[in-house]
Structure 1
Amino acid sequence: MSRSTFRRYFGSKEEAVLSVFDARGRQVADAVRACPADEDDWTALRQGLDVAVEYYRQDPVRALPMTRLVLDTPALCARQLEKQRGWWPALANALVERTDSPQPLTPAISVKAAAALDCLNIALDHWIASDGRPDLVDLLDQAFAALSPR
């Protein structure tokens, strides 16, 4: 592929690697929005993140080195975190929109969305550090359980 063709599709090398993150964030928000209104926010966020985890579960042989590349490359890691930072308002709004009588967006709802994303990142960090051996869903469940409002 020529440089000009590459630039037509991607603005940078980082975008070529991370372009999937934009769509994944929308998919997670849609999954949260689709959760039953009577389900608590934390459960809805956890279920919504199954969409993000599915990529890693479907093809761990490919996902592990790609995730390692992103986390070990400062420019990619920074850009990925920047993209993911855009997910939390979408997740917070999805929490509000899934209820029968939507309430205004509050700091508490935004904190829940941000904490859920941190749980995902911590689960991924442990998954990478263990060479993908533990089940990522179990790691995500453990992270959520640590912050579970019980």
Structure 2
Amino acid sequence: MRDEVSAHAWALFAQQGYEATTVEQIAEAAGMSPRTFFRYVASKDELLLERLLEHGPAVADRLAGAAPDLPAWRALRDALDAVVVPQDADAAQVRPLVTMLRDEPAVRAATAERRHRWEQLLAPVLAARLSVPGAAVTADDARVLALAGAALACLDAAQLAWVGRPAERLADLLDAAMGAVSPL
């Protein structure tokens, strides 16, 4: 039921924006009363954050499963395909949502929280990847945090560019963004 409510909410967010979408509209679209909505979900903010966080574990899992000899930056790029491939596959539905995330002030805090939580998921995996015998790297190491933050910034930049370029694939824009940072 919660997944169904979320699907209806995100369809409405894509149509009319986050701020313009009410709990009552989400409940009606899901075929329930607002009271029933609140049995499954605390708020539309919760639905927003939950959806933004959903691919984080998949990205971390892909990073953890990357070949050990693959450089960390390349492994991060490949791991981000857990987000990029589904977004490219459903571009018509996703682009309006990325626009909403960019343009609506009410969702900026959720976007910042997503980045923070994804960094927390990626940091221990990156630390393990960067550790060598006799020189352990911790999740709070500046190099780890810089790599995670830079990769997520590249993803954000690619998504924002992708919104205005319907002929381009998000994967190609992410490659370009990460390629621009890589030589540094």
The question of a shared fold, defined as TM-score above 0.5 by the shorter chain, is answered with yes
Q: In structure 2, the residue corresponding to 1:86 is in which secondary structure?
A: helix
Report if the CA contact (8 A) 1:37-1:99 is conserved.
Answer: no
Greater mean deviation of Cα atoms: 102-111 or 37-46: 102-111
Q: How many residues align?
A: 149
- The Cα RMSD (Å) is 1.9
Alignment partner, residue 70 of structure 2? 39
Q: Does 1:116 align with 2:147?
A: no
Counterparts of 2:49 and 2:113, CA distance in 1: 11
Q: CA 1:101 to 1:23, structure 2 compared with 1: closer, same or farther past 3 Å?
A: farther
Greater mean deviation of Cα atoms: 76-85 or 35-44: 76-85
Alignment partner, residue 93 of structure 1? 124
How far the C-alpha of 1:135 sits from its partner, in A, is: 1.2
Alignment partner, residue 28 of structure 1? 59
Q: CA 1:6 to 1:98, structure 2 compared with 1: closer, same or farther past 3 Å?
A: farther
Counterparts of 1:100 and 1:82, CA distance in 2: 27
Gapped regions of structure 1 (runs ≥ 5): none
Q: Does 1:9 align with 2:43?
A: no
Q: 1:80 is aligned with what amino acid? A: T
Counterparts of 1:100 and 1:122, CA distance in 2: 29
The higher-RCO structure (CA 8 Å, 6+ apart) is 1
Counterparts of 1:69 and 1:100, CA distance in 2: 39
Identity of aligned residues (%): 35
Q: Does 1:62 align with 2:62?
A: no
Q: Does 1:141 align with 2:178?
A: no
Q: In structure 1, the residue corresponding to 2:54 is in which secondary structure?
A: helix
Counterparts of 1:124 and 1:109, CA distance in 2: 23
How far the C-alpha of 1:98 sits from its partner, in A, is: 4.5
How far the C-alpha of 1:56 sits from its partner, in A, is: 1.0
Q: 1:116 is aligned with what amino acid? A: A
State the TM-score, normalized to the length of structure 2. Answer: 0.73
State the TM-score, normalized to the length of structure 1. Answer: 0.88
Gapped regions of structure 2 (runs ≥ 5): 1-31
How far the C-alpha of 1:97 sits from its partner, in A, is: 3.2
CA deviation vs aligned residue, 1:26-76 (integer Å, no higher than 9, x gap): 111111111011111100100010111122112111111122222222112
Report if the CA contact (8 A) 1:119-1:144 is conserved.
Answer: yes
Q: Considering only CA atoms, is the larger Rg found in Structure 1 or Structure 2?
A: 2
CA deviation vs aligned residue, 1:122-145 (integer Å, no higher than 9, x gap): 000101122x32111110001001
Report if the CA contact (8 A) 1:92-1:109 is conserved.
Answer: yes
Q: CA 1:80 to 1:8, structure 2 compared with 1: closer, same or farther past 3 Å?
A: farther
Counterparts of 1:14 and 1:73, CA distance in 2: 13
Counterparts of 1:108 and 1:51, CA distance in 2: 23
Counterparts of 1:108 and 1:140, CA distance in 2: 21
Counterparts of 2:118 and 2:153, CA distance in 1: 11
